[in-house]
Amino acid sequence: MVEQEIQNLFISKQWTLALAESCTGGAIASRLVAIPDCSRYFLGSLVAYAPSVKVALLDVNPETLKQFGACSQQIAEEMALGALKKFHANCALAITGNASFPPETGAWVACVRSDKRIFSQYFPVTGDRKEVISQLSDKALQFLYSVI
């Protein structure tokens, strides 16, 4: 299970993790907190669904939103940077995308570390809303594990 591997890795590195979720609505955080001792590395998650919340709580630039839209690589990266800063974490993962409007169903996932190195990738998915959220949560966690 990737959640356990992530926990083991973060604890061994003595790193902390913060999340900023949009289209998954807290599903990623839910999977992490299902593992005992997650409090040893997991600081918390902000579900920022509305663009105004992304701006107010994650310091997303309104001009970036206007230029690229809420479901973009640029916004995922700004959300991750905002979560890193707000939670004072060593690493932050953010996801923003579209969970219910085929054929554009998918999400941008971004991971940023305290050295400010940013990784991002787009994940297209198919299925109903519940399946899409599950698939995106899986892909985001696999992505996090691959870049840490």
pLDDT tens, position by position, 47-98:
999 999 999 999 999 999 999 999 999 999 999 999 999 999 999 999 999 8
Interatomic CA distance for residues 137 and 30, integer angstroms: 10
DSSP state of 118: E
Domain 2-147, CATH 1.10.8.10 — does that match?
no
pLDDT band with cut points at 50, 70 and 90 for residue 102: low
- As a whole number, mean pLDDT of residues 38-42 equals 98
Interatomic CA distance for residues 98 and 108, integer angstroms: 9
Domain ranges of the chain: 2-147
- pLDDT for the residue 122: 96
pTM here? Answer: 0.95
pLDDT at 99 > cutoff 80 = no
What are 48's two structure tokens? 């920022």
- pLDDT for the residue 59: 97
Interatomic CA distance for residues 129 and 14, integer angstroms: 35
- As a whole number, mean pLDDT of residues 134-144 equals 97
**One-letter amino acid for residue 141 of the chain:** L
